[in-house]
Amino acid sequence: MLMKKIFNRVSRMCYDHGLGLLVIRVATGLVFFIHGYDKLQAIDGTIRLMQLLGLGGAGTAYFIAWLEVVGGIALMLGIAARLFSVLFGIEMTVAAFSIGNTYGFHGYEMPLLLAAISFGLVLAGSGKFSIFKMECTYCGGMLCRGASGECSIR
């Protein structure tokens, strides 16, 4: 009985959706930022990889690298998190089925995990700990003016 009370009290203290989303956003954004930075540092190799996979060339390589750098920072800060999460989810799905064939399941697992997290953030939103939250607190609509009491659903 005592253990149940202690467990419930501790679990209630740790129950915070906004804080959970912050941890997920920061960790995921950091992964994307580091990978994008690495792509920019070795841009010639990134261009060759894109050409080898048939995904374009220099334009695609630069777009993906800068998307990961800028989007990673934005995701960590909570700036347009849903927008960047959609782009990351699409990017990682393409990566999984482009590169994954080469390495078997180990080629699929990381991109699919990042795609799942990204699409999950699209559904969950950026949370209360974000600099520029695009979703309405009440209805979840993008750019709804719910904070000012003018939610389109209410």
- Whole-prediction pTM: 0.84
Number of domains present in the structure of the chain: 1
Residue 108: per-residue pLDDT: 85
Distance (Å, whole) CA 140 – CA 29: 22
Low-confidence winner among 50-54, 64-68, 83-87 (lowest mean pLDDT)? 50-54
Whether 6 is in a domain gets the answer no
**For residue 13, is it within any domain?**
no
Structure tokens, 11: 């679990």
| C-beta of residue 108 within 8 angstroms of C-beta of residue 52 | no
pLDDT in tens, 68-115: 999 999 999 999 999 999 999 999 999 988 886 666 677 788 999 999
Region of 48 (left: φ > 0; alpha: ψ -120 to 50; beta: rest) is alpha
Q: Is residue 70 part of a domain?
A: yes
Q: Residue 10 burial (CB < 10 Å; 0-12/13-18/19+)?
A: exposed
List CB contacts of 130: < 8 A, sequence separation 6 or more. Answer: 22, 25, 77, 78, 79, 81
pLDDT tens profile 105-114: 777 889 999 9
Range of the structural domain that residue 46 is part of: 19-148
68 in a structural domain: yes
What b/e string do you get for 126-142 counting C-beta neighbours within 10 Å, with b at 16 or more?
bbebbeebbbbeeeeee
Q: Determine, yes or no, domain membership for 143.
A: yes
Position 10 in a domain:
no
Task: Identify whether 7 is part of a domain.
Answer: no
The reply to whether 11 falls in a domain is: no
